[in-house]
Structure formats: structure tokens, C-alpha cells
Amino acid sequence: SSGINAEYGKLEINGEDLMKFLFETALKQFPDSSFLWVSLAEYVMSKDVAKAKSILQTAYTTIPTFECLKDIVMFMITFTGKLGDVQTMIIDFMYQGLDKLSIGNPDTVIHLGDKMIANNLTGFLSEIFEVALKQHPRDKALWLYKIHNLSNDPSKDLENALAALPNDPDILLEYLTSLSFTDPAKCKVKWEEVIKESFAAPLITQFLQYIYLSSGLKDARKAFQDIQKWHAVPEKAIAALLNYEMVDGTSAEQVCYLFTILTTNFNKAENWKNYLDFCQKSCPEQISSVLWKCRNSLTETQIANLF
């Protein structure tokens, strides 16, 4: 045994009692430290699993925060296979306290979700995300993680996500993609409704792809004309329609029209090179005119690299 002097008097205690004394003293000063509580549980774990569970439950009752829950989950991951039935009891008391859980940073919930999935501890992960979304209903990353990894009803969750974030392009795209399989008619109406809105600008390329795949090239051309009334068309969208024209189309004039839009709005050497390559293969009579425009649009260095 070893002796220690304290203001409470001189104590003669063995090493095990010393560790307990130190933990209890630290917890009196820092009762809100989930790290200390979990460290104490780890210390007693080798001799008394039930006692470790009791310590964790006290910690969770004392500190109903996500940080505490995360530390307890990491404890379970550390001792996977050694907890037996006690693991179920730990999950039960955490589950019962979820309604009191305070979640600060939603990103930490996603990080914990990855850890729990990787270690097959998904039993109450959906409920953790439900609590997180109640406290952070406009957090897109939380919605997408739940939909992709935990949802039993993706359609319902997508509708809830869209209600919380009606103008978010990523949520909209997820919703519309799902709708294209579950309700094609409703999907078409919804696309036509949202694509006119300014917040839908990032979805133009996907909209053209949707129209092309569902209705064909002719309707994709019409959709492109309409889009130009509402938005500045992004480079990827023009390139996508160009690809559709070169795969399914028979009109070299239509391809040249799109290349003209592309090179006018996105004056890049690569776009001019693709335009010239197309002319050489499909409409050689246009090469001289396109080459002249190219020389007047690019720098000498760009032209030298191009040829």
C-alpha cells in the first residue's frame, strides 16, 4: 500500500483505491466532464462490467449532451465483444434519454454515424438523427446522411427534407430523382415548376438530362431554348446538349449553333478545339470561318498551344 496526505487527513490506501479516490476527486471538480466519467468506466471495466454500466448511466444522466453520448458510444466500440448483455442495457438508457439530448454541432453527429455504422452499432442511430434534425431542421448534411444511410422510407424523408429546405438544389435533385422512379408524371410537373426559379440554376444540366432521357432530343432542344429565358446557361449544360446532339442528332447546323453559344460564353481553347474537330469531321466547309473566329478570340499563346 502507499500513503498519501490530503486535507482530510493521512490515508493509507492501495493502488486501486488511490485510482478511485483520484477519479472521484476529479469528478467533484469537473462533474460535467464526460471524458472523466468514461475513463472511470474504462478503469473498472476489467473487474466489474455492471459497475462500468452504472457509471456510464450516471454520466449520461448528469450530462445529457451529445458529447457524452459520443464518448459512451466510443466506449462501446472500444469494448465490442466484451460487454455482452450490458451493451443492450447501455443502449437502452441512452435511447430513453434521447429526448433530453442537447446537440451543438451537427457535423459531429455525422462523424459518429460513420463510426457506428462501421462498427455495427446502428440500433438507435436513426433516433439520434431524428433528435438532431429536430434541433437543426435546416441542416442539409443531416438530411442527406439520414436519407442515404438510415431511411426506412426515403420518399417520406425527402418530402420532409424538402419542406424544411424548399429552395435547396441538392435536396431538390434528390427529391426529383426519387420521384422520377416513383411518380414520373408528378416528377415532370415538379421539374417544370422549379426550373424557372433562380435557386434551380445549379440543376440546369440535370434538367436537360432528365428531359433528354424521358422525352428525347427534340424536347431537350425546346427545354434548352426555354432555359435561356430564365437563366445564364452553364458550360456543362451546353456541353451536355452538344453530346446529345452528336449521339442522336443528324443536324450539323444544330451542333454548330451550340458550339457558337459555347465558345461565345466560354472562350476556352478546349472548346474551340472541339469545335474545329467537329467541323473537320462533319462540316469541313465551316472550318475557315470557325478558324477565323478562333484566331480573333484566343491569345497567340493559346492558339500556339492549340495547334
Quote the pLDDT of residue 14: 55
Quote the pLDDT of residue 227: 96
Give the tens place of pLDDT for each residue, 103-151.
888 999 999 999 999 988 887 899 999 999 999 999 999 999 999 999 9
Contacts of 139 (CB under 8 A, 6+ apart): 106, 132, 133
Contacts of 107 (CB under 8 A, 6+ apart): 141
Q: Are 98 and 131 in contact (CB under 8 A)?
A: yes
Quote the pLDDT of residue 15: 59
CA distance 143 to 138: 8
CA distance 42 to 54: 12
pLDDT under 50 in the chain at which residues? 1-12
For residue 14, give the amino acid letter.
N
Using alpha carbons only, what angle is made at residue 172 by residues 168 and 174, rounded to the nearest 5 degrees? Answer: 125
Contacts of 32 (CB under 8 A, 6+ apart): 62, 63
Quote the pLDDT of residue 16: 63
Q: Name the helix (H) or strand (E) containing 3.
A: strand 2-6
Which of 126, 128, 121, 123 shows the shortest CA–CA distance to 76?
121
Determine what percent of the chain is predicted with pLDDT higher than 70. 94
Q: Name the helix (H) or strand (E) containing 63.
A: none
Q: Are 2 and 35 in contact (CB under 8 A)?
A: no
Give the predicted TM-score (pTM) of the model.
0.78
Quote the pLDDT of residue 9: 44
Give the tens place of pLDDT for each residue, 48-77.
899 999 999 999 988 888 899 999 999 988
